[in-house]
Amino acid sequence: MHFTIVKKSQKSWARAGILKTAHGEIETPAFVPVATQAALKGMISSQARELGTQILIVNTYHLWLRQADEVIKKFGGLHKFMNWSGPLMTDSGGFQVFSLGWAYGKPVGKINKNIQNHKILPHTVCGSIPDQNQGLVIIDTEGVTFRSHLDGSQKRLTPALSIQIQERLGADIIFVFDECTSPLASHEYTTTSLEKTHRWAKICLETKNDNGQLLFGIVQGGRFKDLRQKSAKFIGSLPFDGFGIGGGFGKEDITTALEWVIPMLPESKPRHFLGIGEIEDIKQSVKRGIDLFDCVIPTRLARHGVLIT
């Protein structure tokens, strides 16, 4: 087993563990800083190590869009390219389906505060080719068509291609390609999206080579208990090495969503809360059995002169 639970809390679902990867062990719970384009903004790799950082996460979509995955492969993978000897993660590009699609040009994020004051909106997609005025993404049953935010060129990303890109990048932990739904998406749309995400998860499993990388499935389902539990049951039944919990939330939904899904996931495998990193959210997530979490907030605040104490 690549994950060992060392100790459990008697007052909550919190646990301490050791996650073994090809580039070293991670003591969990652990925060994962975001190195979007294979670099931490405002900090070099050696400084991150000196601060006790155990693992970084790199953005698949942004590297692929710049054709950097092929360049990085020639360098021998992300570890050599970044001068980082420790463990690495790559996300799948699924979050960009949301941020450059449904949420493009709208005041909607992955987490919305006071969501009760917002109207639940139907999901709309654009025409046969993404139009900049309508969003940069078309989602269909087989994958996603992007209009690049860099040069306007049309790109196509599928579950199989996402895995192939992540294999070229060579991170220790990779994720399935999924659709991150908006916190304002309707139950009807989220149901359709979930069926797609589950189908893509199986394609990712079938595509991945036996190369030592750990593949994490992703639980979706938006703000709806029945869909979250349906997803946790399905994804938890597949032979993934660990599990991510993704999708959009209302600020008040984060802990509730964990209470819905954590009991339905295999206890013996690691759990990663995707895109979560505010202090209060980390505390509540650890209490509910989360082992890993990533977020851009610390580096974003730091490079604008803000320090978290």
Mean of pLDDT values over 239-266: 89
Cis peptide before 159 (omega within 30 of 0): no
Strand ranges (DSSP E) for 93-133? 111-112
Q: What is the predicted pLDDT for the residue at 195?
A: 96
First-to-last alpha carbon distance for the chain, in angstroms, is 36
Q: Which of 69, 178, 281, 294 is catalytic?
A: 294
Q: What is the predicted pLDDT for the residue at 122?
A: 38
pLDDT tens-digit series, residues 13-66: 999 999 999 999 999 999 999 999 999 988 899 999 999 999 999 999 889 988
pLDDT tens-digit series, residues 207-248: 999 999 999 999 999 989 999 999 999 999 999 999 999 877
Q: Which of 258, 263, 211 is nearest to 236 (CA)?
A: 263
Q: Clarify whether 281 is annotated catalytic.
A: no
Q: Which of 91, 178, 253, 291 is catalytic?
A: 91
Q: Which of 168, 159, 196, 175 is nearest to 245 (CA)?
A: 175
Q: Clarify whether 91 is annotated catalytic.
A: yes
CA distances from 274 to 73, 94, 220 (A): 25, 11, 11
Q: Which of 302, 301, 276, 243 is nearest to 110 (CA)?
A: 276
Q: What is the predicted pLDDT for the residue at 153?
A: 82
Residue 276 near residue 256, CB atoms below 8 Å: no
Tell me the pTM: 0.89
pLDDT category, 110, cuts 50, 70, 90? very low
